[in-house]
Structure 1
Amino acid sequence: MAFASFIGRVMFASVFILSAWQEFNDFGIDGGPASKVLEPKLNVFSKHVKTHTGVQVPEVEIKYLVAAAIALKGVGGLLFIIGSSLGAYLLLLHQAIATPILYDFYNYDADKKEFGQIFSKFTESLALFGALLFFIGMKNSMPRRQVKKKAPKTKTF
């Protein structure tokens, strides 16, 4: 059972690790193609948040945001493989931040072709989020091993 669990964690984390590796190789000076895709989506997301909540999203340079995403996916994926809850929390953080920004289905009409494609990606990302929550829940519900103390032997005189 432990080997199957390990293989499952490797396969799950490979999605994040391979994505981080590809973004790292394409990063360049300006953040690569990921920053070019992320910048307009982040601007739309910031305007959307400001109009609906009145809260201003802090200004951040896009290449640093892409570098943080690479770090969260890479480190989180590697820690997840060894069974660390910290890795799952890092991947959860990445998913919580990236999902509403990248998959902004709420900015499209439901009858548009783009809506279906983006909403499908959004639900896939939610499934990954749910799987991470499931892992954390299972990890916290398992009893920890307790060291058995040997009863002291009584000495007879």
Structure 2
Amino acid sequence: MKHVIAATIALKGLGGLLFIFSSTFGAFLQLLYLAFITPIVYDFYNFDIERAEFVQLFIKFTQNLALFGSLLFFLGMKNAIPKRQQKKKVPKTKTG
């Protein structure tokens, strides 16, 4: 169990650090982390609607879904912007 916790901490830490530097790999690591951890940690579906825990867990769950969506948006926009192409230098003709 210690290895699983250490792996999730490393996954989130490395993904966050790479994401700061606008890396798509970091965004994919964050997506992977959120996809596995969110339904496990915030299991609001096991609580009754009237309980206070349900509301708190549901809010955290929807916040993580919003983060997941924003990471998908980041990846979509990152892939939609064309890469900067180098301009070909045209040799100048000599007149004379």
Fold shared, TM-score > 0.5 on shorter chain = yes
TM-score scaled by length of structure 2: 0.90
Q: Cα RMSD (Å) of the superposition?
A: 1.5
Which portions of structure 1, spanning 4 or more consecutive aligned residues, are displaced by more than 3 angstroms?
152-156
Alignment-derived partner of residue 112 in structure 1: 51
How many residues of Structure 1 are paired with residues of Structure 2 in the alignment? 95
Whole-angstrom CA distance in 2 between matches of 1:124 and 1:155: 64
Q: Which amino acid aligns with 1:81?
A: I
1:133 aligned counterpart, secondary structure: helix
| Superposition pairs of residues 1-157 of structure 1, within 5 angstroms | 62-153=1-92
TM-score scaled by length of structure 1: 0.57
Whole-angstrom CA distance in 2 between matches of 1:123 and 1:137: 21
The sequence identity of aligned pairs, in percent, is 64
Q: Which amino acid aligns with 2:8?
A: A
Deviation at 1:112, TM superposition (A): 1.6
